[in-house]
Amino acid sequence: MADIKMKSVDAVIIGFGWTGAIMAKELTEAGLKVVALERGPNRDTYPEGAYPKSIDELTQNSRHALFQDMSKSTLTIRHKPDDQAAPYRQLAAFLPGTGVGGAGLHWSGCHWRITPEELRIRSHYEERYGKNFIPEDMTLQDWGVTYEELEPHFDFAEKVFGTAGQAYKVNGKVVGAGNPFDADRSSEFPLPPMRNTYSAELFRKAAAEVGYHPFSIPSANASAPYTNPYGCQMAPCTFCGFCSGYACYNYSKASPNVNILPALRLVPHFELRAECNVVEIQTDSTGKKATGVLYVDSQGNRVTQPADLVILGTFAYNNAHMMLVSKIGTPYDPKTGQGTIGKNFCYQNENSVSVFFDNDKYTNPFIGAGGNGVACDDFNADHFDHGPLGFVGGSPLWVNQSGSKPISGVGLPSGTPAWGSAWKKAVKDTYTHVLSMNAHGTNMPFRDCYLDLDPEYTDYLGRPLLRLTFDWHENDIKMIRYAVGKMQKIAEAMNPKAIKVSVKNFGEQFDSRHYQTTHMGGGVIMGDNPATSAVNRYLQSWDVSNLFVVGSSAFPQGLGYNPTGTVAALTYWSAKAIREQYLKNPGPLVRA
Amino acid sequence: MPLSTSVPSRRSFLLGTAAFVPAVALTGGLQRPALAANPGTMLPYTPTFFTPDEWAFVVAFVDRLIPSDAEGPGAVELDVPAFIDRQMGQPYGYGKLWYMHGPFRPAPATLGYQLEFTPRDIYRKGIPAADQAIREAFGKRFVDLDPAGRDQAITRLQEGELKLSPVPAQTLFGEFLKNTQEGYFSDPIHGGNRDMAAWKMIGFPGARADFTDWVDRYGAKYPFGPVSIKDLGA
């Protein structure tokens, strides 16, 4: 173990998931010498995704082959600011990744664009519902960027990801049976929508019957052979059902490893260093300029990597952790509302309805793909009148049959015992005759939901763990109960043998023991005011202008849709600003 | 989600029948379809983690969690005890997949597991404590109870009515249930689910992993049986 100082580079990227890979591609195209540092190991379709060993539920999902190494680090969780926090010791509610590709290697592939109104959510709600509609403790704010500005980047990201979908409106013209609530697009999806499972088609029919507007979910699982703008190739998805939690064996699911890294490998001025865990971003004596990063490599060496430009692109909440341990920006204080680092942590507010059929009707739930399915958007975003409902937010509803495996994925009827002969009979009678639908709702930011450093627990490097203070608020429970009620009508229209509704009750606390989603956001949020946001509209730190912080950490609120599509578009948007503005004249791109 | 409610579907409501009333209630008079029709036979296996006494307890316990009956195979005949013993030798068994740094202190249940015990500790400390508590409550060691008695003992552990120390009864029960279902349903390469019998019972095709030709055969039964990673030469 030694102290090593590397030669300075133009840009260093912390984390090599989607945001790191996109930034590496964009900045090397601009001629920059780029080093990317990934804390986890090298990973790729071979060997991690190689069939058949990748099709192993126990190793991959139950034993977390691709997920964060919890023995080294985790976060602590508490519900309220005055509670004692406890470590999240076992992966359950959310499954952060590690390694080359990050969570982008084991994501599902639902590939969405944020709705225009969600980008200016405070302004939109105040205009439509009045100044008093948003609760006082809901720290809602606009993003500082518009859908029109992001549209070219959504468009390009879909072409990079090989996204399969059905457009509704292109350049103002209705072109097909896509989501009628969708904003205008500049082009069609690069691939036609995937074929759908029986479960999804049952949802399509039933949702239409009850008056909703079903459409195929945009999916970054290839529906046909495809070569993306980087020359990276994808093969048609085989509906194997092993997406979320797994590396795709078939080059069908978009990932940084499949869709970007093959092109980057050909770039001589790019270097990817795996098993290099960044300890902190270093700044000069003024604290206003980043000088590079300090990391620990796989041999335990402490390595300084100087760089002119630092890109922070770790998983969601880890961006806030890196800012806090590097002492960049002002930590958020929930008592005063001052400070921005750690502010507006947000999650996904999801509940489900299971639908059970007779034994002669096979839903074959093992068939699926992570981004596959049929959704309706009638109760998402502001597609419905919130006035009489008294809550902010909404939820897409869908059947997203991604492949149920027997250890983790058998939904059983209410009242089924947890073990014994009756349990076994229920599993046997149910497994191939059930479908599950989800309300994948928004989670609004609240003053007392935030991230800071834990005063007690540390990671393997001795750094304080991140501490998450989070609980469900009445607004979000009202919303999800409303959305699940609408979804129940779809279930009933399927005329099933039985249905089971799982929905949060008022007063219910966040429960970290059960898988929900790995869609976390906030902590280093974007905005137009340094008093209320950590980064500007280009994801540039207000405090350190040669630091850009990319990822869902920039989201000021939790979206109804899965975050990755918006994360990718924001990253391309930020990269464009770096390439076209920052590199010509390094310094703040927005004057405070 | 911990809180779920069951609502009758439109059809079952119209028919006036409650759907899915469990055939077996967990407490009180137990009815077991075709009880012990086939107690199940393990392949010969010498445990490397469990002691002989623990092993007898484990075999008897998992046999009740997933019994052998007319509906399908039980955990014992699918070698689930051997699966659990093998897992104790894996990083999982040593708690290497968990954040295991102190202080360890009680927290609301919703914040998850907060004990210092690894899976190996849970079994090693939990089994003798459970056996002692069962002997005090039932007058017999667990393995000497009849099937109905074992089910009652397991139920009392599940509900935390039997007090164990230092591993709480519900922690021991939860570990048993999780590992038993894992062994029953995981690929046979891990030593359980012998002959993929649990997959065959429920209709899971294992590592076939290509349904290009079946994705839009709506409502139809998938015609092929399962394959194991082992069968694929990996």
Rounded to a whole number of angstroms, the distance from the CA of B197 to the nearest CA of chain A is 12
Q: In whole angstroms, what is the distance from residue A280 CA to residue A399 CA? A: 42
Question: Judging by DSSP bridges, how do beta strands A169-170 and A173-174 pair with one another?
Answer: antiparallel
Judged by a CB distance cut-off of 8 A, whether residue A366 touches chain B is: yes
What are the tens digits of pLDDT across the range B168-208? 999 999 999 999 999 999 999 999 999 999 999 999 999 99
Q: Are residues A275 and A420 in the same domain?
A: no
Q: In whole angstroms, what is the distance from residue A491 CA to residue A512 CA? A: 28
Bridge-partner residues for A376, per DSSP?
Answer: A214, A397
SS3 A221: strand
CB hemisphere CA count around A47 (13 angstroms): 4
Which chain A residue shows the shortest CA-CA distance from B69?
A421
Q: Is the pLDDT of residue B112 over 90?
A: yes
Q: Is B54 within a domain?
A: yes
Q: Are residues A542 and A558 in the same domain?
A: yes
**pLDDT score at B232:** 86
Q: Is B131 within a domain?
A: yes
Report chain A residues whose CB lies below 8 A from the CB of B118. none
Instruction: Give the pLDDT mean for A205-209.
Output: 98
Judged by a CB distance cut-off of 8 A, whether residue A271 touches chain B is: no
- Scanning A282-341 for CB atoms below 8 A from B yields none
Q: In whole angstroms, what is the distance from residue B201 CA to residue B205 CA? A: 10
- What's the DSSP call for residue A69? -
- What's the DSSP call for residue A432? G
Q: Is A411 within a domain?
A: yes
A390 burial level (CB within 10 Å; 0-12, 13-18, 19+): middle
- What's the DSSP call for residue A283? E
A63:B90 CB<8 A? yes
Instruction: Give the pLDDT mean for B8-24.
Output: 32
Q: Average pLDDT, whole number, for chain A?
A: 97
Q: Is A447 within a domain?
A: no
Judged by a CB distance cut-off of 8 A, whether residue A235 touches chain B is: no
> Do the beta carbons of residue A339 and residue A369 sit within 8 Å?
no
Q: Are residues A412 and A329 in the same domain?
A: no
Total number of domains in chain A: 2
| Residue A185 belongs to domain with CATH number | 3.30.410
Selected for mutation to probe chain B from A46, A60, A419 (highest B CB count within 10 Å) is A419
Q: Are residues A270 and A358 in the same domain?
A: no
> Do the beta carbons of residue A170 and residue A187 sit within 8 Å?
yes
Range of the domain at B193: 34-202
Q: Are residues A243 and A127 in the same domain?
A: yes
**pLDDT score at A246:** 97
Q: Are residues A353 and A226 in the same domain?
A: no
A405:B204 CB<8 A? yes
Range of the domain at A191: 180-216+349-442+472-509
Which residue carries 């055939």 as its tokens? Answer: B23
- Phi, psi values for residue B26, rounded to 5°: -85, -25
pLDDT band, residue B233 (cuts 50/70/90): confident
- Considering only residues B73 and B18, tell me which one the structure prediction assigns the higher pLDDT: B73
What are the tens digits of pLDDT across the range A453-478? 999 999 999 999 999 999 999 999 99
Selected for mutation to probe chain B from A57, A89, A372 (highest B CB count within 10 Å) is A89
Q: Is the pLDDT of residue B9 over 70?
A: no
pLDDT band, residue A584 (cuts 50/70/90): very high
Which chain A residue shows the shortest CA-CA distance from B159?
A418
The closest CB to that of A424, out of B4, B5, B66, belongs to B66
Q: Is A452 within a domain?
A: no
What are the tens digits of pLDDT across the range A25-46? 999 999 999 999 999 999 999 9
B20:A498 CB<8 A? yes
Q: Is the pLDDT of residue B15 over 80?
A: no
ipTM metric: 0.96
Instruction: Give the pLDDT mean for A545-550.
Output: 98
Q: Is the pLDDT of residue B215 over 60?
A: yes
Q: In whole angstroms, what is the distance from residue A457 CA to residue A68 CA? A: 17
- Scanning A85-104 for CB atoms below 8 A from B yields 86-92
B201:A428 CB<8 A? yes
Judged by a CB distance cut-off of 8 A, whether residue A239 touches chain B is: yes
Q: Average pLDDT, whole number, for chain B?
A: 86
Whether A153 sits among the annotated catalytic residues: the reply is no
Distance between the two ends of chain B, CA-based, in angstroms?
A: 37
What are the tens digits of pLDDT across the range A282-301? 999 999 999 999 999 999 99
Q: In whole angstroms, what is the distance from residue B157 CA to residue B167 CA? A: 11
B218:A52 CB<8 A? no
Q: Is B224 within a domain?
A: no
Rounded to a whole number of angstroms, the distance from the CA of B167 to the nearest CA of chain A is 17
Q: Is B9 within a domain?
A: no
**pLDDT score at B7:** 34
Q: Are residues A358 and A380 in the same domain?
A: yes
Q: Are residues A270 and A206 in the same domain?
A: no
pLDDT band, residue B24 (cuts 50/70/90): very low
pLDDT band, residue B23 (cuts 50/70/90): very low
| Residue A281 belongs to domain with CATH number | 3.50.50.60
Instruction: Give the pLDDT mean for A93-105.
Output: 97
Q: Is B217 within a domain?
A: no
pLDDT band, residue B5 (cuts 50/70/90): very low
Length of chain A (residues): 592
Q: Are residues A322 and A355 in the same domain?
A: no
Q: In whole angstroms, what is the distance from residue A408 CA to residue A503 CA? A: 19
Find the Cα–Cα–Cα–Cα dihedral A305, A310, A311, A316, rounded to 10°: 80
DSSP assignment string, chain B: ---EEEE--HHHHHHT--TT--SS-SSSS---TTTTS----PPP---SSS-HHHHHHHHHHHHHHS--BTTB--TTTTTHHHHHHHHTTSTTTTTTTS---S------GGG----S--HHHHHHHHHHHHHHHHHHHHSS-GGGS-HHHHHHHHHHHHTT-S--SSS-HHHHHHHHHHHHHHHHHS-GGGS-SGGGHHHHHHT--BT----TTTTTSTBPPP----B-TTTTT-
Looking at A124-128, A189-193, A251-255, B6-10, which range is the least confident one?
A: B6-10
Q: Is A171 within a domain?
A: no
Q: Is A294 within a domain?
A: yes
Q: Are residues A222 and A273 in the same domain?
A: yes
Q: In whole angstroms, what is the distance from residue A441 CA to residue B1 CA? A: 14
Q: Is B175 within a domain?
A: yes
**Three-class HEC string of A315-364:** CHHHHHHHHHHCCCCCECCCCCCCCCECEEEECCEEEEEEEECCCCCECC
> Do the beta carbons of residue A412 and residue A372 sit within 8 Å?
no
What are the tens digits of pLDDT across the range A349-376? 999 999 999 999 999 999 999 999 999 9
Give the tokens for residue A421. 């002969």
Q: Is B67 within a domain?
A: yes
Judged by a CB distance cut-off of 8 A, whether residue A425 touches chain B is: yes
- Scanning A474-493 for CB atoms below 8 A from B yields 488, 491-492
Q: Is the pLDDT of residue B25 over 50?
A: no
Nearest to B154, CA basis, from B166, B140, B172:
B172
Total number of domains in chain B: 1
Instruction: Give the pLDDT mean for A70-77.
Output: 98
Q: Is A523 within a domain?
A: yes
C-alpha to C-alpha distances, A458 to A522, A564, B17, nearest whole angstrom: 22, 29, 55
Q: Are residues A242 and A193 in the same domain?
A: no
Kind plus residue range of the DSSP H or E element containing A18: helix A18-29
Find the Cα–Cα–Cα–Cα dihedral A559, A101, B97, B102, rounded to 10°: -70
Q: Are residues A222 and A244 in the same domain?
A: yes
